[in-house]
Amino acid sequence: METPKQNHIDKNDFDHVYEPAEDSYLLIDALEKDLQYLKSKNPTFCLEVGSGSGIIITAFGMVFPKAVCFSTDINFKACSMSKSTAFQNNVMLETVNMDLGSCFIENKFDVILFNPPYVVTDSDECGSFDITASWAGGVKGREVTDRMLELIPKILTVDGTFYLLLIEDNIPSEVISIMAENGFSSDVVIKRRVRNEFQLVVKFFQDKTN
C-alpha cells in the first residue's frame, strides 16, 4: 500500500493532532498483509475511528477507490486534517467529529479500523477533545477501546472485519475474550516490538461467514 502524501501538513499542526508514528504504519502494514482477504470481501462502506491525520483511511481509500470511506475523531482539528489528507491524495472521505462511531448506530460498515489511545493513564486523563485524546487510555489503556468493543456488533456488517491496534499493556487476550463472547473470531495479523513497546494488530470477524 502506498503511503499517502503528507506535504500539505504544517509540522506545527502536530501539536494538536496525532503525528503518524510506528503504530499508524503498523496498522497500514496489517492492511497490506491482509489485502488479498480484504479484496475478496469487496468492501463498500469503510470507517476509521480516531483517524488523526487521516493517513490510514486515506491509504485504504487509495487501494479501494470504489469504497465509500468515513472517518471520525473526537478532536475537531484531526477531522479537518483527515479531510485534507484524503483530498490531497484524491480520496473521497466523509469526516465526522464525534465520539467513536456512536452516531452511526443505524449504519453498518464492512471494514472498521481503530488505532486507539492505548497508553495506560489515570482514568481522569481520558475523555479530552485535544491531543491528550491521542494517547490517554485510562485503566489498562483500554477505557476508550472497551467502549468501541461494545459498539462493534452494532455497526459492523455480519460479513465485516474490524482491525484493532493493541499493545501488550492492554492485555490483548482479554480483548479477544470480550469479542469472543460477542461471537467474534480473531487473528493476529501483525506484531512488532517498537523500542520497549510490543504492538500488534488483531482482526475480528464473525465465524459464520469466514
Ligand X SMILES: C[S@@+](CC[C@H](N)C(=O)[O-])C[C@H]1O[C@@H](n2cnc3c(N)ncnc32)[C@H](O)[C@@H]1O
Pairing relation of β-strands 197-206 and 184-194? Answer: antiparallel
| Residue 75 binds to ligand X (criterion: CB under 6 A) | yes
Taking CB under 6 A as the criterion, the residue among 100, 111, 167, 179 binding ligand X is 100
Instruction: Please report, as residue ranges, which positions from 101 to 130 form the binding site for ligand X (by CB under 6 A).
Output: 115-117
Minimum distance from residue 208 beta carbon to ligand X (Å): 29
Cα–Cα distance for residue pair 154/165, rounded to 1 Å: 20
Choose between 31 and 144: whose C-beta lies nearer to ligand X: 144
| Residue 170 binds to ligand X (criterion: CB under 6 A) | no
Nearest residue to ligand X, scored by beta-carbon proximity: 50
3-state helix/strand/coil string of 19-81: CCCHHHHHHHHHHHHCHHHHHHHCCCEEEEECCCCCHHHHHHHHHCCCCEEEEEECCHHHHHH
| Residue 72 binds to ligand X (criterion: CB under 6 A) | yes
Which residue is it, cell 470480550? Answer: 178
| Residue 201 binds to ligand X (criterion: CB under 6 A) | no
Nearest Cα to 60, choosing from 74, 76, 77, 44?
A: 44
| Residue 167 binds to ligand X (criterion: CB under 6 A) | no
Q: How many CA atoms are closer than 13 Å to the CA of 1, on its beta-carbon side?
A: 27
| Residue 164 binds to ligand X (criterion: CB under 6 A) | no
Choose between 29 and 187: whose C-beta lies nearer to ligand X: 29
| Residue 24 binds to ligand X (criterion: CB under 6 A) | yes
| Residue 137 binds to ligand X (criterion: CB under 6 A) | no
Choose between 100 and 206: whose C-beta lies nearer to ligand X: 100
Q: Which three cell numbers stand for residue 188?
A: 493476529
Which residue is it, cell 512488532? Answer: 192
Please tell me whether residue 132 adopts helix, strand or coil conformation: helix
Taking CB under 6 A as the criterion, the residue among 56, 79, 190, 200 binding ligand X is 56
Residues that bind ligand X (CB under 6 A): 18, 20, 23-24, 27, 49-53, 56, 72-75, 78, 99-100, 115-117, 133-134, 144
